[in-house]
Each structure stands twice: as structure tokens, then as C-alpha cells.
Amino acid sequence: MRLTFLFLTRISPPRHVRIFVSMWKSLKSLFSHNTKPSENDEAIRPAPSTSSTTPTTSATAEQSISERANQLIDAGNALEEQGKIEQAAAQYEAARQLAPQFPRAHLNLGNLQLLNGDAKAALLHYEEAARLDPNYAAAHFNRGNALFDLVQLSQAELAYRQAIKINPDFIDAYVALGAVLDQQQSYDAAIAVYRQVLEKVPNYARVHTNLALALQKKHRFLEALSSLRHALNLNPQLADTHVVLANALKDLGRVSEAEPHYRQALALQPQHWDAYNGLLFALNYRPEHPPEVLFEEARQFGIQLAQAFPPQSLAPTQPKVANSKLRIGFVSGDLRNHPVGYFLDSVITALRQHHPDLELIAFSTYDKHSNEDHSRLDELGKHFREQCHQWHAVASLLPTQLEDLVRRSQIDVLIDLAGHNGFNRLSLFSRRCAPVQVTWLGYFATTGLSSIDYLIADPHTLPPDQEVYFTEKIWRLPETRLCFSAPRSEVAVSSLPALTKGYVTFACFNHLAKMNDEVVALWSRVLTAVEDSRLLLKSPPLVEAQAQQETLARFAAHGIAAERIIFSGISSRDDYFRAYHEVDICLDPFPYTGGTTTMESLWMGVPVISLSGRHFLARQGQGLLINAGLSAWVAEYQDDYVALAVHHSQHLEALAQLRAGLRQQIMQSPIGDARNFAEHFASAMRQMNAIHQG
């Protein structure tokens, strides 16, 4: 019997690592019926279904037909291994015609449909195979795989459970069950299934990796690290696992430890795009890397990607008919409750309401979005689907299918909202699928792709002397590259806590990875200079006692007592906003300055001190504060940073007054004026298109 799937981890770095079903097209050498698991990566395979009935004379004739059908399928398998897909399909179809009641023919036809990215057609074949032989475990398993690909997760779960019921030793079905439970956010159940697999097959390295991913989502970060290190001890050649480990280390703030694992993954698999994405993202956390280094790494990525996905010539475009709409395509996995979604929220609404000459088309690459089932859309996802003229959930599409869809959509300006973030489809942009291609919002450096024409910036974040570090042309909007949308939360601004507590509380709600040694040293200077002050650190990894102890030790090295550091981990969105009720002033990290956290802090009435930097990302905080009318809170040098903290700590009445009016101030500023921003953005789209039209 030919098995078509092995469940592996697929990485979506750098912030969100998720489990996917890896389609066998990329691993087909593993799936021939006689493949044996490696010594260190053992997986139990189910045996073919057989009949226990003693053949009669007619049964003997049927057996002869079955043997001939098996020969045709085996021939098809061989052709498939040679990449001769059409010839293989002909063999499988001949087997089906010869023996219509033979389930294996349908199984292999389904495999080819899945290889071609047609999960719906594959599902029909798998369902027919299961109907013909209800005890055919592989048919139920592959049916689950097709349903998984179609984001019909509850049905996929039932199919995997049926395969396990038929064959309790079907290890891959257990792993698949764990993956679909994970995708349904049933993390405890997924962990239990993976542990059950490891009781049967302790050396299944990939399952240790999947287990680690589920543990991370339960905020059991150190257990996840242990599981990942064990996986690499079993099989150090697993590039995916190196990437997962690197992401986990980065999330814990150990960025210098993460970088070698990204590079090891690339040494094992030079076109491991997730490793490249993770590496490029992680390098931005490290202040010792100058812009020249970051640019060269990104440029090399762009060269590699262009070799794998070479640009294609666009079909000649017809001149625009008078009054025809300009078609703007957005490619993103973050059209949902996510920082990108938060910034895009009011912009999309303003574009739809005030710019009828634009047609907005969304291509959602988020793995939980489906064209058939919109119930999995969160509140913000539903909003984007309603506001866009067209909505396409494309996570399950092969690169060629997505490319075809975008070309057929006749997009005028195609916008990447991810950069090297998770769920990006930079390969689509490498293929040149629209006359004008732009990157904006979700990333803060060059993509490295020469096929992306423009990067949207503003006058404050990207100085002219930094343009040499971008493969894209820089298009500056007149005021700001970002527009803040009022959060969908009813949490109000509180009074200044220092007035009742008797001491100032500084805070940072940014990712722990941004807190490099230079940041710790500067914040320690602030705490030393402002007597009795506290520092509240809020980041998911800080739920771990060991992460807290490591952080305390870093501050202790600068003479800061443990009682002056307050920790907070994960919380609901409303509780996250309520946490600002305990904060007087926020401290921005560097060189990776805050974006979403900075604006949410201001929304809650808490001003932010930011250090001006040299390059794009290091000036993000500065750009936000200038546009919010808070340029006086930007420090040019580290001494100025400390001086600002001291000054505002000594003027609490003024700080309280600022706090009371800050929410209104930012929403009336360029950073909060969605209609004004949409005017600038729409004008940029029209000008870019006009330049292309000549």
C-alpha cells in the first residue's frame, strides 16, 4: 500500500510556529510502498487491507483482476517516482477501469489530485475508497489529510480517529490527529496524543518536535526546549527542528543562541525559506549587526528565491477604461486579530468608504481561514472580509495555484503585508504577478527581492542615507507609514498610579527578545536614577520561573534588586489593556523599537520614551511619537533617555494631565486620522500605477 503523507512540522516564523500537514509532493521519495523508516526516525506503517475469505472459483477470477490492477498501480508508482505524473495517472485510471471496486486505485488517484493541489477532487476518491472498503485505514487517513487541507478540521479529526480505530498501530494517523487537534487549539489533547505516540515509538524525532510546538502554545517554553533538544539528539539532520528550536530560543530572548540553529537549517537545506525568514527577522534584534550586514543577508535571500521562483513576464495589459477601478491586492496571513490587522482596520474601512475608484482584494494566507467555512474568522477577520470587494482564503493553494489566481484577478498593485513574517508568500512576489508590487506594514526592513518595486515608509523612519540598504525603491507617505486603529476594547484610561502608590512604575510590554544587554543596562540606569521606581515586564515567556530568574540576574548584574522588577505573562486582550493601569511611563527597547505596543500604550494614556536610532526599525518608535505629537519624548542619546525618565518622574501632575488627554490626542493626530491616511495611501497607489503606465 502506498502512503501519501508523513506529518512534519512546517514553520511560520518568526512569531507564530504552527503545525501543518506537509504534502507528499515535497517528500515523495519517502512514500514508496517499500520505504523503511530511518533508524532514528522510526514510524510504524499500516499494512494493506486484506480479505480473510477463502477464494472461490469466482473469487479466484476476481483475484486475478486484482493482481492485474495492483500491477498497474505499481507501474504508476514507479512512473510517479520518475516525475511522470500524467503517465502515472493513466496507469491508476486503467486500474480503476479494470477493477472499479478496487479501493487502491481510488487511493492513488486521490494522491495525484492532492499532489496537484486539488483537495476536493482527492477527497472524492478517498471517500470512494473508504466506501468500497470501510476497513481501509489508509483511505480514512488520506481522507483526513484532504479535509485538513480544506480546513474542515473537525471532519478531519473524525477521519483520523476512524483510521486509528481500524488500525490501532497506525502511528502516522496518531501524529495527524495531534496536528489537527493543535490546529483546533485543543493543545492539551494534542500533547496527550503526541505523548501516546512517543510511548509506542520513543525515537520518533519529528513527534518530539510537534510536541514542543504544542507545549509552546501552552506557554510551557522550557519543556518545549527540552523536547526540541531531544529531537535533535535523535536526528541532528532535521532542518525543520533546528528552525523550531531557533524560534523557541528567540522567543525566550536568547537570540544569540538562536542564530546558529537558523544557519544550521540552511546548511542542511539551502532553500529552507522558513529558516531564512527566521534568520532575517532575528538579526534585527541584535544591535551588533549594522545595516550593511542585514541588507546583504536579505539580498542573498532574494537571489536564492529568484532562482527557485524566477520572475515571469506579465501579459500585456490593456489601457484602463475610463472610470475603471484600480485593483489593489493585499497578501497577508494577518487579516485578523493581529498587530497588522489592528493597524489595517480603520484604513481598509476608510478606503472602502471614501475611495470608490479602488477595488480591494484580499488574499488571506492564514492557515485557519477557509473559503467554505467562515465561522473560523474572528471579529477582525469578518470585518476585513466584509470591507474588501473580494476575499480569497489561499493557505491551502500551491504556489502555482495562487499565482494563477492572482494573475486572473488582474491586480494593478499587489501589496505584501508580511515581509519575512509568518504566512508570507514572498515566492508569489518573486514570480512578478502584478505590474506594481509593494511591501508595507508587517515588516521593517528590506525583503531583499528585486521584484518588489516599492517599500512604503515616511519622512521620520527612513532617512535618505539608509535607502542604499533596500532592494526596493522607497515611497514615503507625507506624514506616517502607519495608521493606528482604535482597539475594539472598552477598557478606560485610569488615573496616574504614581499619585497613589508613591513611586513611579516604568514598563515594557514588548517581546522579551527585544530586551538585549544594552537595553537592560540602560533601563538599569533609569531605575538607579529614579529612586524607588519599579519596572513591569510583560511578555508570555515570563510565566516561566526560570525565565524570571534569568531576567532578574541580568538586572542584578547592574545593581538592581529583585523586588524592583515585576513580571506579567500572558493575558486576555482586555486584561492586557488593564495592565496599563499599573504603569506611569513605558520604556521603548532598541534597536527593535515598539510599534503596536507603543501605540497601545499611548491609547491607554501611558507615554513612551524612545531612543532614536540609525536605521528604519530603530526609528519606528521615533516616527510614532513625532506623529502623535510627542516628539519631546524621543531621546537622541542614552543619557537623554535617562534624563527624560528622571524629568517626567519629577513632574507627576503634568504626567497625570498628559495621561488624561492622550487618547484623544493620538486619535486626532496624523497617526490616528484614518481618513487622512487613506487619502495619502490611495494617492500613492494611483501614482505608482501611473508611473508603471508611463
Sketch out the chain's domains with CATH numbers.
Answer: 328-485 (3.40.50.11380), 498-671 (3.40.50.2000)
**Which pLDDT tens digit goes with each residue over 459-499?**
999 999 999 999 999 999 999 999 999 999 999 999 999 99
Q: What is the mean pLDDT of the chain?
A: 90
Q: What is the pLDDT of residues 343-357, one digit of tens each?
A: 999 999 999 999 999
Residue 434 DSSP one-character state: S
Q: Find the radius of gyration of the CA atoms of the chain.
A: 27
The pLDDT score that the predictor gives to residue 376 is: 84
pLDDT tens digits, one per residue of 521-543: 999 999 999 999 999 999 999 99
Handedness of CA 132, 136, 140, 142 (dihedral sign): negative
pLDDT of residue 39: 29
- Is the model's pLDDT at 38 over the cut of 50? no
**pLDDT (tens digit per residue) in 180-225:** 999 999 999 999 999 999 999 999 999 999 999 999 999 999 999 9
Residue 122 clears pLDDT 90, i.e. is over it = yes
Phi, psi for residue 633 in degrees, rounded to 5: -90, 5
**Range of weakest confidence among 232-246, 318-332, 411-425, 479-493:** 318-332
Q: Residue 54: which pLDDT band, with cuts at 50, 70 and 90?
A: very low
Identify the bridge partners of residue 508 per DSSP, sorted by sequence position: 537
CB atoms < 10 A from the CB of 245, how many?
A: 26
**Cα–Cα dist 126/383, whole Å:** 36
Task: State the pLDDT confidence band at 335, using cuts at 50, 70 and 90.
Answer: very high
* Sign of the Cα pseudo-torsion (212, 214, 220, 221, in order): positive
Instruction: Give residue 319's pLDDT.
Output: 61
Look at residue 24 and tell me whether its pLDDT is greater than 60.
no
| pLDDT score for 22 | 36
What's the predicted TM-score (pTM) here? 0.89
d(Cα 412, Cα 685) in Å, to the nearest integer? 9
CA distances from 510 to 272, 358, 454, 564, 613 (A): 28, 35, 28, 18, 17
CA distance 150 to 520: 46
Report residue 222 as a C-alpha cell. 522550557
Strand partners, 163: none
The pLDDT, as a whole number, for residue 318 is: 60
Of all residues in the chain, the percent with pLDDT exceeding 70 is 90
What is the per-residue pLDDT for 60?
Answer: 58
Task: List the grid coordinates of 672.
Answer: 490616528
Which among 153, 75, 109 is positioned nearest to 372, based on CA atoms?
Answer: 153
Contact call for residues 498 and 653 (beta carbons, < 8 A)? no
d(CA 129, CA 628) in angstroms, rounded, equals: 62
Q: What is the pLDDT of residue 317?
A: 62
| CA 292 to each of CA 280, 295, 299, 616, 617: distance values in angstroms, whole numbers, following the listed order | 13, 5, 10, 13, 14
Among all chains, which residue has been given the C-alpha cell 516564523?
13
CA 692/CA 675 separation, integer angstroms = 26
Find the distance separating the first CA and the last CA of the chain, reported in whole Å.
59
Residues, the chain? 694
Predicted confidence at residue 62, as pLDDT, reads: 61
Predicted confidence band at 1 (pLDDT cuts at 50, 70, 90)? Answer: very low
Judge whether 284 and 269 are in contact, CB under 8 Å: no
Q: What is the DSSP string of 371-386?
A: SS-GGG--HHHHHHHH
